[in-house]
Amino acid sequence: MYSILVEPPRTAWDLNWRMLSIPVRVHPMFWILTLLLGYREEDPFQFTLMFAGVVFVSIIVHEFGHALSHRKFGDRNPSVVLYHMGGLCIPGGHALSHWQRIQTLLWGPGAGFVLGGIAYGLRWLLFERLQMSNLYLLVLLYDLIWVNVSWGIVNLMPVFPLDGGQITREFIHWKKSRLGDRVAFGISMWTAIVLAVGFLGWHFYKRGEDARGLMVPIFFGILAYNSYRLRKQVIMYGDLGGGDEGPR
């Protein structure tokens, strides 16, 4: 049931290091999916590599927003994993209150918004005020703005296991515990359905020919089905208990 939240198995091709004393692991599927998402036949391949680099940096910043917030609340052993679903901040087992969990969840997209804001400020300074004409730098800054702002907004939608869905669930258990997971996953399911249909309609309205444009509605369709299964299990067996942070 919670397989979408499980840390992917280790491989011989993982990248591993520590940053700010926090373990970081990058699964090879992260690079494969990111390069596929960024590839455009009509663009120079350097743009694809730049996009992959932007996604890598952006997810690291996002997950460290979560991890450093965990550390602030006394968790000394958080870790970060990048994989095909994006990123995971894995808590070290230190118990947090509902309000502390909500804060740790907010700091992921919050860190991304800060990075996107810095990129926007640099683009304005370099290309509007100083009139620079470096195409590669312009594309790099545009990608940083788009990835961090757009994904941050989407990630705050009340769809589980995105940050917004987990925040909604935490708030319901905190303030409206009698409603429980049945309502939390119901909100997640219907929101995901609306987003899947909306993005699908937008794709065809724009007459998108790139099949990758269907990945977003498919993604939300999968999350809608996942929330449906979770809600069904809750109705049958009761609330699932506390969960940790999922993909961002």
Q: What is the pLDDT of residues 69-97, one digit of tens each?
A: 999 999 989 999 999 878 999 998 788 89
Query: What is the chain's mean pLDDT, rounded?
Result: 88
Q: How many CB atoms lie within 10 A of CB 126?
A: 16
Choose among 29, 4, 3: nearest CA to 14: 29
The whole-number pLDDT of residue 5 equals: 60
The whole-number pLDDT of residue 82 equals: 95
Band of pLDDT at residue 235, cut at 50, 70 and 90: confident
CA 65 to CA 113: how far, in whole Å?
11
Tokens 């999922």 sit on residue: 246
Choose among 36, 93, 92, 83: nearest CA to 60: 83
Per-residue pLDDT at 248 exceeds 60: no
Q: What is the mean pLDDT of residues 180-200?
A: 93
**Exposure of 233 in the CB half-sphere (CA atoms within 13 A):** 12
pTM of this structure: 0.87
